[in-house]
Structure 1
Amino acid sequence: MSRPVRRAPARATPVVLLAVLLIASTWVFGGAPAVAASGSPSPSASALDTDLPVSVSIQRVMPTVLRPGDDLTVSVTLRNTGSAGIADPTVALRINRLRPTTRAELSSWIDRSSGVVGVRLTTVHPGALAPGAQLNVDLTVPASAIGLNNVSSGWGPRGLSVDVTDDGGDRAGTARTFALWLPDGTVPQARVSVLLPLTGPARTPTVAGGANAGATPGATGASTSGATAGATPQPSPSGTASTPSSVAVAPSAAEQAALERLTTAGGRLRAVLDLARSSPDLGLAVDPALVADAQVSGAHARAWASDLGTALSGRETFALPWSDPDLATVAHGNGADLLRTAQQLSSDVGIGGQTARTDVLWAGPGAVDTSTLGLARTVGAAAVVVGPQSLQSVGGVATTARADVKTATGTMTALVPDDVLTSLLTDPESVEPGSTAATAVQRTLAELALLTRTGSSEPRDVLVAPSRDWSPDPTTAQAVLAALSSSPWSRLEPVSTALGNPDDRSKRAPLPASASAPDELAPATVQALATARTTTRAFASITQEPDTLLAGVDDEALTPLSVAWRSSPGDRDALAARLVQAIDDRRSGLSLAPVSNLNVISASVPYRFAVRNGLPVPVTVRVAVHPRKSCLGAATSDAVTVSAGAEASVPVVLHAAANCEVIVDAQVTDLAGQPVGTGAQFTARVAPTVENVGTAVVGALLAIGLVLGIVRTVRRGQSARRGARRTSEDEAPPLPPLGGDVSPGRPS
């Protein structure tokens, strides 16, 4: 006989085991099971409703971090945005005692996509809520009723929900946030670095077609009272005044107006600086060109620059390359020399006399590519701050702020901001619709708790870095930053700390080799700026006063590269064309006076060329003459110095070798023979005739004969008839009398 089969227990056992495990895990990690209390209406776990008649704003969660023995108070504001009143609304506070284990679960709790409702802790009936009316409600839960387990490993976030139902028990409004539970005071801490950018509006130097040339985006409607002309040299990091030859030119009126608007109360630059002054632990990345422009602009801008100098004392500060160039634009335009120039200018000028690092760069908006990181390595940078959308973790694994990336020029360090934490500081509405300062703080600490719990046992480095155009909401930003510095599981650290720690080698999304954005400056324009600058600097070798000739040239070449110009590419392209022309015009002014056609009838003839100097500096040059045929030759002139605004005559000897008619090119050159001015062209008719040549030959022969005759005479000596006298004058016979012998007897 076969034994009977007992099937029922086999089906029941897995269900029982699952239920036991669920209940056990619930009590270990959070307390009582998260089920709705009997008899109370439970909102459905649908997606976040946006058309409910009651707006619920969570204004306060006290305490921010909940510990055993603490009562929990959640303060909310109810506003009836519907057309009908609610006679007796019910406000319920619920908690999900299960601790989230991933950052994705935090999002699913907020948007209600998880399907979890939570257990009711307390209920309040605040009274009638008429259309358009507002009620402030406090929901307080005693510590004994919270029901979270005191196991030390259970620390972290728990979901909180405030639900409003109308007279019929239907949901009328809802809001969600988190409680932060800490049963034990000893928990690991994440190292959080905050880096705030201080960059200005698009710059428009006055040299580009006048004081109002160019249109600075957003520069209308601001006062420019108190603006002054000319920048006062600021102390360099060494403490001495810095006056490099190519520092800033004066900002245009449009740029000064924009700076006034940005530095007045409520302006972006003023708000960021005031936020930074609230904590010395916040790092600043500053464009020194912005500070230089502010120091010579209106009253608000000058006051802002002064306050910035005070705020930098004792703070970690990074000096961005001059004028904040767009790294991607420079990389795609092969403009490494321009970036080196920008770095050197920032190093030379400094920021208000304070010491600042210049080896950390900041990429422009959008995704970064390996060519951009390769450029940073080429110019000797230690790291590049990239956008939070680049180098994101794969598979939801938590990563550190530092990422080492292989490029064509070697490995480069990228600093990657945390996308969610940065958004909670700058725009919490993008993370949690309907967010308040209180919910931004609770979500920030919830995210940090899971970052700290996930991954290795080593402290994790986290970077928070807002975008350049961020204009902070003071209330929310100060609340979030205060939470970062006081949280049990995070502490503020300098950015250099993250730089000094190794990459955790987590898997990240790869970067493209090259990816150009449509609003970048064209590579050909980058090269035109670089060529104009290089040529002009070489040209300056002809003067002993190169600083005068080159003043502002580097600033002009760098201005169109600024990240700020991404918002107005059309105006930027026009400005770049004007600046290339302005840089080229610095080499205009040296010329030769026009030369008439010449008749050269001698074998050698000097000719004087007139060199005109229209430059503001004296120059030392030569005149080089190049006949296009060999029948005429010419030597290069001696060096001659021509005063500023003057004219000098320079002789050049022309040598005729044969009869011809030849086109001659004359050019002003530097001492090395490179052309430096406008030349002249003329026609020379060369006719060294036969007679002239014969005369020269006969003359030469006669001269030779004369010399030979003299030599021959000397060498022949004296004959008997031309001998030298050998007796004295007394012994010589007397000469006969003049006219004959007069002796007696001889006829006279």
Structure 2
Amino acid sequence: MVEPVRQSGPRTLVRTRSGRVARRLSGLLAVGAVLVPGVLPAVAAPVGFVAASPEFPASVAVDSVTPRVAAPGDTVTVTGTVANSGSAALKDVTVGFRQPSASGSPVRNRSGLDQVVRRGEPTASDGTPLTTGRESLGVLTSGQSHAFSVQVPVAELKVGKGGVYELAVDVAGVTPDDDAPHTIGIARTFLPYKNEAVPHPTQLAVVWPITHSPELVAQTMQDNDPVPVLRDDSLATDLAQGGRLYQLVQTGGQLPGLTWVIDPDLLDTVFAMTKPYRVQKPNTAGEPAKDSNTVAGTGRDAATEWLKQLRTAVAGAGSQVVSLPYADPDLASIAHNGAGLNGMASALRKAGTAGEVTAEGRLSIDARSDVAWPYQGQLDQQIAGTARAVGENVVLTSGASLPDTSMNYTPNAARPIGNGQTAVVADSTVSDLFQPDLSSPQAATTAVQRFLAETMVINRQLPESPRTLLVLPPRTLTAGSAGALAEAVGKAQQGGWARLVNLQTVAAAPADPEANTAVPADYPQRLRAGELSAATLGQVMDIQGRLDLLLSILTQPQRVRGPFSAAMVRSMSTAWRDQAAEGSSYRAGVQNYLDSLTGAVKLTPKSMVTLAGDTGVVLVSIKNDLNQAVGNLQVKLVSSQPNRVNVSLQQNVLLEATTSQTLRFQARARNNGGVQMTAQLVTTGPNPQPYGKPVVFTVDVTSVTSGVLYVIGGGVLLILLAAVRFTLQRRKRAAEPAEEPEAEPVGEEADAAEESGAAAGEHAPGDEKVGH
């Protein structure tokens, strides 16, 4: 027979100095976590966790509670593990239950639930240990653990009214400093007890995120049809049986009424994987995709089956699909660091439209696209304004952004925040239960029992009034956490105090007049450190201008426009908040690949051209390494000293794929020596722009005849001709008879007249006769 455990009096108190110090430290930490902003952990502490101490060396973990919700006549079974965390052996170890305190009254409110969670070492508030139904574990040496399974009829727990009760698992034993059995450890969880009908179940909306970090890159393998390229093949694992996304679809498909929040970029990526695709080899991001730096993807069958299963799941009765903007751009980062960038607002609007079209096209179902979901649901005035500017009128928000500390009940989820926007505020306590990975039985049981307790108490706050509640898990919801959430929602519905509805129903419910609607001006500093910086967002937006320049010369721009436009938005994805290094690598890959494409059309460098003579030809070569023809280009050749060496006008360029062309420019030189020339590609059209880097070289003129010599030679010839003419005229006059002339010029006037006529090339009648 097991000896009754002694509980009252000094046995429940800490009797060693080290125990007192541990308890005081534990209390101070708990108080500090409440009072100091930013110290609160992101996830609530497990209900059953109590740190071991010298006074209480037994650590207890609860693996399961059956049934999750008790009713009159039930027998409650708890399984788990007891471990000896002390340095000495524990003897006569037994495990059993405690009868709840407060004379069979349930926990009255949500603050009472929180007090149970934060309670440390065993106290009288945990109730009285039951002497019946205890399981003996014998001796536990230091570090040893032992599984247990204990049962108790609900009637022996002395629960009365319907509601939530603390369910404490008590461990007793003998320690070296006390030879009488006493409490050496405790685990706490919650037991919802239902013994009456619920008049108005809480309308519960659960966001079910289907997201993944971006995988498609801007590169494609050019064939008759472009072959998509992924940065790695991890998505194939997630889509395959047992993978995270596979489990999310399988689990969510069993919950009609879910709100599926989907990144359309993921749908596009999975659809691309249903056909042959390639995967980049490590350290090749930014390189043009080729057989040598990619491998064949392995996820075709998994992608095909997953997409089929998702289409079936989202078509469940009462379910709703919300399409995030394409690639889920980081709304908070953009609002704080990029809202004023040229083209950003347009990019966000296009992402929203593309997201809706993609989701509806891939899933064959109507999708809602006016919903914003900032990172971790944190909202401020800048984020709300940016969302409103791009047409997102509903914002999924964490209760941490719009707390209701002055109310004695939990208000409805939806509330107006001005300018036609509605914030649907998630309950932080409930939502945060599913932040960690709940893949272990202990973690899942802790979260499920706390969820049931919280939602039951919320429903009982105003039992005669219909209530609404939003559960907002993280974007990266794990398979284990999804399973725990689905079980919790299912048990709450079976208990009758909750009914699963979609987001539309909750968003349209009337708001509580006293609920907080003041959007804060401040944003948590702990989240600002992970935002995309203004410089990073500026670099992303600069891609558009460079891309437009490239597209203007391509004869098939559609082969580049789509992949790059999508890659730009993927570069700003919210997914990079939790994967900073991967995000930087992805953005660098996009930038480098665009540099590679732009640089594939270029002038061939040269340093010196020799021009032997006063005229000649300057050759300029242009190369196209792209897999498509280019046009709408000119080559301009400009001389730094056109008075010495001048060239002909620009020439148009039309180049087939992967070819080169040499252009001939006529040049005219007037002096020997070197002259710097600049060749530049320029786009044609109404707004011509330089394309690529200029090529600067020198034209060296080596054998031009000086223009001065031509002038001097011409003058000498004219003087000789004039002298010959003068001599011939003298001879002619000497041979003719003298006669009375008419008035003739004399002296200097006659000489000048003759020289003038000779210089002008005039011929006197007598001159013609001399020539025969």
Length-normalised TM-score, structure 2: 0.65
| Counterpart residue number, 1:737 | none
8 A Cα contact 1:58 1:175, kept in partner: no
Match of 2:69?
A: 64
Of 359, 365, 370 in structure 2, the residue corresponding to residue 359 of structure 1 is: 370
Asked if the contact 2:567/2:590 (under 8 Å) is kept, the reply is yes
Match of 2:333 in 1: 329
- Consecutive unaligned residues in structure 1, runs of 5 or more: 1-36, 150-154, 212-228, 234-242, 696-748
| Pair 428,563 (structure 1): closer, same or farther in 2 beyond 3 Å | closer
- Counterparts of 1:580 and 1:494, CA distance in 2: 41
Q: Indicate the SS of the match to 2:532.
A: coil
> Which amino acid in structure 1 is aligned with residue 550 of structure 2?
F
**Which of 542, 556, 563 pairs up with 1:552?**
563
Q: Is the 8 A contact 2:680 2:690 kept in 1?
A: no
- Contact 2:448/2:485 (CA < 8 Å) preserved in 1? no
Distance, in Å, in 1 between the alignment partners of 2:697 and 2:436 is 71
Give the Å deviation of 1:368.
4.3
Structure-to-structure mapping, 1:373-388, within 5 angstroms = 373-387=384-398
Following TM superposition, by how much is the alpha carbon of 1:140 offset from its aligned partner in structure 2, in angstroms?
0.8
Q: Which residue does the alignment assign to 1:189?
A: 201
Contact kept in structure 1, 2:214 and 2:265, CA below 8 Å: no
Q: Which residue of 2 aligns with 1:319?
A: 323
The CA deviation string for residues 208-258 of structure 1, in whole angstroms up to 9 with x for no partner, is xxx9xxxxxxxxxxxxxxxxx89999xxxxxxxxx9xxxx94113xx20x2
Deviations 1:578-631 (A, max 9, x none): 4212113322233456695879979xx999976544433223325356666897
**1:338-737 equivalent positions in 2, closer than 5 A:** 338-350=347-359, 352-355=362-365, 356-365=367-376, 367-387=378-398, 389-395=400-406, 398-405=410-417, 412-427=421-436, 440-454=447-461, 459-473=466-480, 476-504=484-512, 506-507=515-516, 511-513=520-522, 517-592=528-603, 596=609, 612-623=623-634, 624=636, 641-646=654-659, 666-672=680-686, 673-680=688-695
Shift of 1:529: 2.0
CA RMSD of aligned residues (A): 4.8
Whole-angstrom CA distance in 1 between matches of 2:623 and 2:68: 81
- Pick one of 109, 116, 123 that aligns with 1:102: 109
| Cα distance per residue 1:693-731 (max 9 Å; x no partner) | xx9xxxxxxxxxxxxxxxxxxxxxxxxxxxxxxxxxxxx
- Which residue identity lines up with residue 115 of structure 2 in the other structure? S
Deviation at 1:171, TM superposition (A): 1.8
Q: 2:235 aligns with which of 259, 264, 278?
A: 259
Contact 1:204 1:251 in 2 (8 A): yes
Aligned to 2:725: none
Query: Are 1:634 and 1:653, in contact at CA under 8 Å, matched by a contact in 2?
Result: yes
Structure 2 residues without counterparts, runs of 5 or longer: 15-22, 24-49, 175-179, 278-296, 715-772
User: Could you say if the C-alpha distance between residues 147 and 463 of structure 1 is closer, same or farther in structure 2, counting changes exceeding 3 Å?
Assistant: closer
State the shift of 1:276 in Å.
1.0
Aligned length: 605
Equivalent of 1:293, from 266, 269, 273? 269
Please tell me whether the aligned partners of residues 211 and 263 of structure 2 are also in contact (alpha carbons under 8 angstroms).
yes
1:468, CA displacement in angstroms? 2.5
Q: Which has the higher helix share?
A: 2
- The answer to whether the 8 A contact 2:379-2:519 is kept is no
Matched, 1:203 2:220: no
Q: Partners of 2:676 and 2:443 in 1: how far apart?
A: 86
Describe the SS at the equivalent of 2:433. Answer: helix
Matches of 1:125 and 1:156 in 2, distance apart?
A: 24
* Alpha-carbon displacement from aligned partner over 1:422-465 (angstroms, at most 9, x marks no partner): 233455989xx995655644432331233234479753321112
Deviations 1:676-699 (A, max 9, x none): 34545577999998999xx9xxxx
What SS is found at the alignment partner of 1:55? strand
Asked whether the equivalents of residues 602 and 623 of structure 2 are also in contact (C-alpha less than 8 Å), the reply is yes
Partners of 2:542 and 2:663 lie apart in 1 by 31
Structure 1 Cα separation of the partners of residues 327 and 184 of structure 2: 52
Give the distance between the partners of 1:104 and 1:415, measured in 2 at CA. 23
Kindly provide the amino acid, as one letter, of the partner of residue 671 in structure 1: G
Which residue is 1:139 aligned to? Answer: 152
Counterpart secondary structure, 1:466: coil
| Separation in structure 1 between the aligned mates of residue 236 and residue 595 of structure 2, nearest angstrom | 32
Q: Secondary structure at the match of 1:534?
A: helix
Shift of 1:353: 3.4
Answer whether contact 2:625 2:658 (CA < 8 A) is retained.
Answer: yes
Q: Distance in 2 between matches of 1:648 and 1:316?
A: 58
2:136 aligns to what SS in structure 1? coil
Q: Which has the higher strand share?
A: 2
Q: 2:253 aligns with which of 277, 285, 301?
A: 277
Alignment partner, residue 7 of structure 1? none
Deviation at residue 491 of structure 1 after TM alignment: 0.9
TM-superposed CA distance for 1:309, in Å, is 3.4
| TM-score, with structure 1 as normaliser | 0.67
AA partner of residue 423 (structure 1): D
Report the residue type matching 1:419 in the other structure.
S
1:667 Cα deviation from its structure 2 partner: 3.7
Contact 2:251 2:483 survives alignment (8 Å):
no
Partner of 2:290: none
Q: Secondary structure at the match of 2:402?
A: coil
Match of 1:11 in 2: none
**Shift of residue 139, structure 1, vs aligned partner:** 0.7
Amino acid at match of 1:480: A
Q: How far does residue 110 in structure 1 lie from its aligned partner after superposition?
A: 4.1
Q: Report % sequence identity.
A: 21
Is the 2:163–2:194 Cα contact (8 Å) retained in structure 1?
yes
Structure 1 distance, partners of 2:228, 2:111, is 51
Partner of 2:632: helix, strand, or coil? Answer: strand
Cα pair 1:600 1:687 within 8 Å, conserved:
yes
The aligned amino acid for 2:588 is A
Closer, same or farther in 2 for the Cα pair 1:85/1:204, shift >3 Å?
A: farther
1:578 and 1:121 map into 2 onto residues whose CA distance is 63
Amino acid at match of 2:572: L
In structure 2, the CA distance between the partners of 1:529 and 1:688, relative to structure 1 (3 Å rule), is farther
Per the TM alignment, residue 480 of structure 1 is displaced from its structure 2 partner at its CA by 0.7
Deviation at 1:482, TM superposition (A): 0.8
